[in-house]
Chain A
């Protein structure tokens, strides 16, 4: 399985990648919760974002930051399955990541993580997120639609307003490479609605928001 986009091996790109903005209906719903309750616990699974930390702490909430996609690049996670195929060790991954008490979070921001995470980590990760969410807690995640190709740009998301997000291209240095050889992660798959519903089978409700930019926003409630 290819983790990085083959077409994005550039070292001479702009120092600061271009940022785009998008309106997010899912974030709008979460903002309503954030505005009417105090001291909520938010888990942000994207890259460290000063905007997000400022946004949530500014409203009096606590934010936990953990970049799961980056953590999944750890070479120590690579094992071979029974057929000799290289896979990631999901058990070890969850021993080292998402280690929180049950029902600790009111909101989990998953962003586009499931689309870029390696296959065998997706379901165990969503199951762990179910455990760490409080009953009634929200999880927001984005999925590409079928219109998206494998070389769709992987973005990180910065919350800039009640329902506004700033998007910035994600680039990682592959393990064993220098920081100047950054590449953008590759879209691993496109989930159909039925697969998304199965993925969040244990959750109490699921709501889809369709957007124009080949993205489906999914807001699930535990």
Chain B
């Protein structure tokens, strides 16, 4: 399990609670609680093992080790690690799911970015 390196990620630690809209142009590691909306159009989001995200997420890529509840819209790759618990619809170009991950929702693989299905 990777540990975020200082300077590589913006880090939301496990004791941090954020309610509202998060947007940015750098990679984000969430190990705390975020409720609202996350927009990282050209960057990646990692939900750490202690992370609990209740938000609709738009990002370039996302790695989930903790809990995520909401719609996930990713232009590249979604990765669900074995401890991931995801409730919501996932749209991505590629998806990787480890044995043991839990997903409740739709998986829609978009072959070309920007072509959303109905």
- Interface residues, chain A, CB within 8 Å of chain B? 16, 39, 48, 50, 53-54, 57-58, 60, 62-67
A interface majority secondary structure: mixed
8 pairs from A and B in contact (CB 8 Å cutoff):
A48-B104, A53-B97, A60-B109, A60-B111, A63-B107, A64-B105, A66-B105, A67-B104
B interface majority secondary structure: strand
User: Can you list, as one digit per residue, whether each of B82-118 has a CB less than 8 Å from chain A (1) or not (0)?
Assistant: 0000000000000111110111111111010000010
Residues of A within 8 A of B105 (CB): 64-66
- Please give the number of chain B residues whose Cβ is less than 8 angstroms from any Cβ of chain A in the complex: 16
Residues of B within 8 A of A48 (CB): 97, 101-104
Does A57 contact B97, Cβ atoms closer than 8 Å? no
The CA-CA distance from A60 to B97 in the complex, in Å, is 18
A155 to chain B, nearest CB (A): 15
Does A53 contact B107, Cβ atoms closer than 8 Å? yes
User: Can you list, as one digit per residue, whether each of B11-29 has a CB less than 8 Å from chain A (1) or not (0)?
Assistant: 0000000000000000000
Residues of A within 8 A of B101 (CB): 48, 50
Residues of B within 8 A of A53 (CB): 95, 97, 103, 107
The CA-CA distance from A63 to B111 in the complex, in Å, is 15
Q: Which residue of B lies closest to A64 (CB)?
A: B106
Residues of A within 8 A of B104 (CB): 48, 65-67
Q: Closest 3 A-B residue pairs measured CB to CB?
A: A50-B97, A57-B109, A48-B103
Does A62 contact B107, Cβ atoms closer than 8 Å? yes
The CA-CA distance from A66 to B111 in the complex, in Å, is 24
Q: Which residue of A lies closest to B87 (CB)?
A: A66
Residues of B within 8 A of A66 (CB): 104-105
Does B108 contact A62, Cβ atoms closer than 8 Å? yes
The CA-CA distance from A12 to B104 in the complex, in Å, is 29
Residues of B within 8 A of A54 (CB): 95
Residues of A within 8 A of B111 (CB): 60
Does A50 contact B107, Cβ atoms closer than 8 Å? no
Residues of B within 8 A of A16 (CB): 99
Does A57 contact B99, Cβ atoms closer than 8 Å? no
The CA-CA distance from A62 to B90 in the complex, in Å, is 10
